Structure 1
Amino acid sequence: MSFERFHKHLHTVADNTICVSYDRLTTKFAVKVGDTVAYSKYFWFWPRHNATVQIGDSSYALSVYWFLIWGASLKKDDSVVVKELLPKRRRRSISILGYGVFIVLVRAAFVVFTP
Structure 2
Amino acid sequence: MSFERFHQHRHIVSGNSVCFSYDRFNTKFEVKVGDTIAYSKYLLFWPKHKATVQIGSSSYSLSVYWFLIWGASLKKDNSVVVKELLPKRRRRSITLLGYGVFIVLLRAAFVVFEP
Q: What TM-score range do you get, normalising by the shorter chain?
A: over 0.9
Q: Specify the alignment match of 1:9 in structure 2.
A: 9
Which residue is 1:78 aligned to?
A: 78
CA displacement, residues 65-102 of structure 1 (integer Å, 9 cap, x when unaligned) = 00000000000000000000000000000000000000
Give 1:39's aligned amino acid. Answer: Y
Deviation at 1:39, TM superposition (A): 0.3
Indicate the residue corresponding to 1:22 in structure 2. 22
Q: Does 1:48 align with 2:48?
A: yes
Q: Distance in 2 between matches of 1:25 and 1:68?
A: 17
Aligned partners of 1:47 and 1:38: how far apart in 2? 21
- Quote the offset at 1:53 in angstroms: 0.1
How far did 1:22 drift? 0.3
Aligned residues: 115
Name the CA distance, whole Å, in 2 between partners of 1:104 and 1:77: 42
Q: Distance in 2 between matches of 1:56 and 1:9?
A: 18
SS in 2 for 1:9: strand
Distance in 2 of aligned mates of 1:62 and 1:104: 34
TM-score under structure 2 length normalisation: 0.99
Query: Percent identity of the aligned residues?
Result: 80
Q: What TM-score do you get using the length of structure 1 for normalisation?
A: 0.99
The residue type equivalent to 1:106 in the other structure is L
Which residues of structure 1 form unaligned runs of 5+? none
Following superposition, which runs of at least 4 residues in structure 1 exceed 3 angstroms of deviation?
Answer: none
